[in-house]
Amino acid sequence: MEEVVLQEENSVIVFLIVGIGILLLMATSLLLFFYFSNKKIIQKELEKKDLAISYQRDLLHATIETQEEERKRIAQDLHDAISAKLNVVSLSTNVLIDGNLDKKEEEQTLQHILSVTTNTLESSRRLAHNLLPPILENFGLQAAIEELCDEFISSKKLAIEHHINYNQSLSKSNELHLFRITQELLNNSVRHGEASKVNLSIDDSGQFALDYIDNGKGFDLKSIEKKKGIGLKNIESRVEILGGELSYESEIGNGATFNIIILKTPSS
């Protein structure tokens, strides 16, 4: 009889020990689960931060590169269009000062100086205009983009069909960003896409929407995702500043489509 009771007691003890063991095991596995999840989450967060940092770095590099390129272009323009011409003027003036010319030659030289200075004036005006189009300052985005299109059309490089309906909903600095984006898109179409036709429409009636379609060579979306050109990065960061959304589609040989939407907030 006593043995039976003892056996029963022992089995209860075994049950207890097993129960406690299972509970402790569960608690420990919970602890480990949280420990490893935490590690994983931190890892993911680090990766995300790394990605953001490398994106920032790329952007910075792109900015510096663009800046350098722009400086080079301006330097070249200044040298070719202005310094060289002014040199001619200075030489001609020297010849005039020396006074060893007859009346007819003198007149010719003066005519030459006049035409060169007129040219130089025009060049410097164009240079300044390219840096910051005064029309944008004075007459707003609509006029500036229209003029930009006309410039491309008159250069016979592109046929542009444009529908612009803009109600001045953007601030001056945002207008400049948008103007630069349009400029970049047109430049890209000519330079990389070798497009002959462009369709540009800007609609400001609801949210601000810019649609841009060219018939150029297009690009491969996958490879562009991996390695974006400076132009596209430039557009992306400007759209980001505007607080808008950029989407683009393209196929090799089938042109490219760009779409920018800026949601209007009460503040803008």
Question: Of 14 and 64, which CB lies nearer to another protein in the complex structure?
Answer: 14
Report the nearest approach of another protein to the CB of residue 32 (Å).
10
Least gap, CB of 47 to another protein (angstroms): 13
Q: How far is the CB of 264 from another protein (least distance, A)?
A: 35
Closest approach, Cβ 29 to another protein, in A, equals 11
For another protein, the closer of residues 27 and 263 by Cβ is 27
Q: Considering only the stretches 10-18, 60-68, 88-96, 227-235, report the one whose residues sit in contact with another protein under the rule CB under 8 A.
A: 10-18
Which is closer to another protein, CB of 9 or CB of 161?
Answer: 9
Q: Position of tokens 């001619």?
A: 88
Based on CB atoms, which residue is closest to another protein, 37 or 168?
37
In whole angstroms, how far apart are CA 207 and each of 46, 176, 177, 255?
36, 18, 17, 26
Minimum separation from the CB atom of position 38 to another protein (A): 6
Report d(CA 178, CA 157) in Å as an integer: 22
Confirm if 218 and 250 have CB atoms less than 8 A apart.
yes
Quick one: 6 or 60, whose CB is closer to another protein? 6
Strand locations in the chain, DSSP E? 159-165, 197-203, 208-214, 244-250, 256-262
Q: DSSP state, 82?
A: I
Q: Count Cβ atoms below 10 Å from residue 264 Cβ, excluding itself.
A: 13
User: What is the β-pairing status of strands 244-250 and 197-203?
Assistant: unpaired
Residues between 182 and 241 with contacts to another protein, criterion CB under 8 A = none
Backbone angles phi, psi at 116, to 5 degrees: -65, -45
Site track 15-54 with another protein (rule: CB under 8 A), x = hit: -xx-xx--xx-xxx-xx--x--xx--xx--x---------
Nearer to another protein, 8 or 194 (CB): 8
State the nearest-atom distance from the C-beta of 50 to another protein, in Å.
16
**DSSP codes of every residue in 169-186:** -S-HHHHHHHHHHHHHHH
Which helix H or strand E contains 118, and what residues bound it?
A: helix 103-131
**Closer to another protein by Cβ: residue 19 or 134:** 19
C-alpha separations of 58 from 55, 107, 180, 241 in Å: 5, 58, 20, 17
Total of residues contacting another protein (CB under 8 A): 22
Per-residue contact string for residues 89-118; x = within reach of another protein by CB under 8 A: ------------------------------
**Closest to 199 measured CA to CA, from 222, 178, 216, 180:** 216
Tell the smallest beta-carbon distance from residue 4 to another protein (Å).
Answer: 13
CA triplet 62, 63, 68: central angle to 5 degrees? 95
- The residues binding another protein (CB under 8 A) are 6, 9-10, 12-13, 16-17, 19-20, 23-24, 26-28, 30-31, 34, 37-38, 41-42, 45
